[in-house]
Chains A and B, each alone.
Chain A
Amino acid sequence: MSEILEPQTFRVTRADLVRYAGASGDFNPIHWSERIATQVGLPGVIAHGMYTMALVGRAVTGWAGAADAVVEFSVRFSRPVPVPDTDSGTEVVVSAVVKDVTDDGLTKLALTATCHGEKVLSMAQATIRKR
């Protein structure tokens, strides 16, 4: 038990946030306007929490080896992911530990997502059904 899965690194730039805003319909200006983000007390433009969760989802389906493997998926957004206006943006690193494999074939993962070494999610977990 407690198998550790290979960490996945995702680069996040302002362009990614603009694209995610359009695709998801979440146009909250804190995800694209430095002026409004700082006005409300943020360090600058931050990633959509749901964009970070989507990246974690990519890691999970990658580990599962199946696009439709996820049975349950939950996170708590504990810290924002600031995305500087540079070509390289920032990086989110997703790692996981296998917590349990049930008799009916489900695998429970405890997930960690970090930005600059700090955890941006807490209580993040997924249950997957492997093919």
Chain B
Amino acid sequence: MPLDPSFVGRSWPPTAPYLVGREKIREFAAAIGAAESEYHDPEAARAIGYADVVAPPTFPVVITMASSRQIVDDPALGIDYSRVVHGDQKFAYVRPVVAGDSLVCVNSVESITSRGGHDFLTTRTDVSTEAGEPVLTVWSKLVQRGPEDGGTA
């Protein structure tokens, strides 16, 4: 079933705030082997002007991947997640995520296209603090492979 093109331009209500923890940033940085002291040591982060440890560039996906379930779990969109692969990923930062941030996501559908039996869904997530300060924007392109493809997840 193709994706419902009327979803283009739709946005969802802001997600519940995600409180970014210092230990979560440390855990993520350790998992990717990133040793920069600003990811682990609050004093090192303060020395470059932040209130607490800063997150590595791809850390926000921890928050946005969960928040964008708002879109992909909407049955009216018609997505079969077992046939979805990750196509593109983009981050545009106003500033890095910092421990102590309370972040809210606004998800929207930027485009839906079809080509060669596959469907392409581009989602956009605007991430800001609860107080309304923009922090970053994240785009993900998901590819729903055609059923004749056998459905590589």
User: Counting CB contacts under 8 A, is B21 at the interface?
Assistant: no
Which chain A residues numbered 1 to 54 have a C-beta less than 8 Å away from chain B? Answer: 10, 16, 19-20, 22-26, 28, 30, 40-42, 49-51, 53-54
Contact of B152 among A22, A42, A60, A72 (CB under 8 A): A42
B71 → chain A, closest Cβ, in Å? 17
Contacts of B91 in A (CB 8 A): 70, 72-74
Residue of A nearest to B92 (CB): A72
Instruction: Let me know if A76 and B150 touch, CB within 8 A.
Output: no
Assess the B88–A77 pair: CB atoms within 8 A. yes
A51 touches B32 (CB 8 A): yes
Query: Which residues of B lie under 8 Å from residue A26 when comparing CB positions?
Result: 65
Q: How far is the CB of B91 from chain A (nearest CB, A)?
A: 5
Query: Interface residue tally of chain A, by bracket?
Result: 35 or more
A66 and B33 CA atoms in complex are apart in Å by 16
A68 contact set on B, CB distance < 8 A: 38, 48, 50, 54, 95-96
Query: A25 and B56: CB pair below 8 A?
Result: no
In the complex, the answer to whether B31 meets A25 with C-beta atoms within 8 Å is: no
B93 close to chain A: CB less than 8 A: yes
Chain B: CB-nearest residue to A53: B58
Interface residue tally of chain B, by bracket? Answer: 35 or more
Q: How far is the CB of B77 from chain A (nearest CB, A)?
A: 19
Q: Mark B31-65, 1 if CB is under 8 A from A, else 0.
A: 11110111100000000101000101110011001
Q: Is A57 part of the contact surface with B, judged by Cβ < 8 Å?
A: yes
Measured between beta carbons, the chain B residues less than 8 angstroms from A49 are 86, 89
Q: Which of A44-95 contact B (CB under 8 A)?
A: 49-51, 53-55, 57-58, 60-61, 66-68, 70-77
Contacts of B88 in A (CB 8 A): 74-77, 123
Give 5 new A-B contacts, CB below 8 A, not counting A24-B62, A61-B34: A23-B62, A49-B86, A61-B36, A67-B54, A77-B87
Q: List 22 A-B contacts (CB under 8 A).
A: A19-B31, A22-B27, A23-B30, A23-B32, A24-B65, A40-B152, A41-B150, A42-B152, A50-B61, A51-B32, A54-B58, A57-B34, A57-B58, A60-B57, A67-B54, A68-B50, A71-B92, A73-B90, A73-B91, A77-B86, A77-B88, A131-B48
Interface residues of chain B, those whose CB is within 8 Å of chain A, are 27-28, 30-34, 36-39, 48, 50, 54, 56-58, 61-62, 65-66, 85-93, 95-96, 139, 141, 150-153
